[in-house]
Amino acid sequence: MEIGLYSFAENTPDPLNGGRLQSPAERLRDLLEEIKLADEVGLDFYGLGEHHRPDFVASAPVTILAAAAAITKRIRLSTAVTVLSSDDPIRVWQQFATLDLLSSGRAEIMAGRGSFIESFPLFGYELEDYDTLFEEKLAELLKIREGGKVQWEGSEHTKPIPGIAIYPKPIQEPLPLWVAVGGTPNSVARAAYYGLPLMLAIIGGNPEAFTQFTELYRRTAEKVGHDVSKLPIGISSHGFIAENSQDALDTAFPAHHEAMSRIGRERGWPPTTRAQFEAGAGPSGAYFMGSPQQVIDKILMQHEWFKHDRFGLQLSVGTLPHDKVMKAIELFGTVVKPAVNKALSS
């Protein structure tokens, strides 16, 4: 199994440091150190989410990943996600092809519709076109990905490309393209129809219930003629790792509470509680919070359900002390990953 990390480059007041708020420059320096360490401890990939909000600093994630390419050697570099609905597929392709060249063939695109809506008014799109925009732009991006002179007729939300080659050319052929979904059946079926790898986010609820989506994906892909054995599935979740479970919970909860309660106010949710948080961190919950062994056990348990090929952990939804994040990355790479791979290879 490929095991890695993803981040939204959160930049919120740190409850464990007296509510200190880093400057964006400080946060980016810490982020690059975290990606560098993830590479050094043997993690397989790092994904960086695109957001256009004051509480995140990765509005241009490919730029950050390009900086990470210069200080890493083997880790794959991805977005998590590129909000394709409000972007230009030509520019997306050019940016990732350039990242692929800079990283010696380690770039990946992870496209999604996005969990926040700020990019739509920012770039002049209507939210009512949320799904149509993604469908049309994904089709255009796939056409560009084929290479050669691109002949694209255009659509309601895209302009024609009259037989023009698009440069630069990436090292990888084809450049990996994943589709990230949050549990919408139509999105799962779309990824299967196009024969694209699926990344399924499970950030709440009963994780085992999400088997309906992995089953739908494999069933749909097989029905339209794709070789299911060649279509990887990834699972991504929130979590945190410390030497023992109590330290993990005590470290992660204050920032989690601050961030999720703030987002909850925007969406009409009640404030998150410690009891809810600990329930989510329990054996049947969606969070991967605890000691290395607890995280190992939950990854292996979910693998029995999903038979997935990739697992991505988001270490925080709010700012945590940098040294504790670095320790969590070390434990994830040097303890969790080897144990999971040993168990799955036996």
| pLDDT recorded at residue 260 | 85
Identify which of 200, 149, 160, 199 has the alpha carbon closest to the alpha carbon of residue 177. 199
Report the C-alpha gap between 208 and 290 in whole angstroms.
Answer: 19
CA–CA gap between residue 57 and residue 49 (Å, rounded): 10
pLDDT at 37: 98
pLDDT of residue 271: 83
Sequence letter at residue 237: S
Which pLDDT score is estimated for 262? 85
Distance, CA of 233 to CA of 81 (rounded, Å): 16
pLDDT of residue 265: 86
pLDDT of residue 183: 87
Q: Over pLDDT 70: what percentage of the chain?
A: 100
What is the C-alpha separation between 212 and 214, in angstroms, rounded? 6
pLDDT of 263: 85
pLDDT in tens, 290-313: 999 999 999 999 999 999 999 999
Quick one: pLDDT at residue 97? Answer: 98
116 sits in the region (left: phi over 0; alpha: psi -120 to 50; else beta) called beta
Reported as a single tens digit per residue, the pLDDT across 187-242 is 999 999 999 999 999 999 999 999 999 999 999 999 999 999 999 999 999 999 99
For residue 217, the model assigns a pLDDT of: 98
The 10s digit of each residue's pLDDT in 104-143 is 999 999 999 988 999 999 999 999 999 999 999 999 999 9
For residue 3, give the amino acid letter: I
pTM: 0.96
For residue 162, the SS3 value is strand
Burial class (CB in 10 A: 0-12, 13-18, 19+), 235: buried
Domain boundaries, the chain: 2-345
pLDDT above 90: residue 6: yes
Strands (E), the chain: 2-7, 45-48, 76-79, 82-83, 107-112, 149-152, 161-165, 177-181, 198-201, 233-241, 288-290, 310-314
Distance CA 195, CA 197 (A): 7
Quick one: fold of 2-345? TIM Barrel (3.20.20)
Q: Rounded to an integer, what distance in angstroms lies between the CA atom of residue 2 and that of residue 175?
A: 18
- Is the previous residue joined to 81 through a cis bond, with omega within 30 degrees of 0? yes
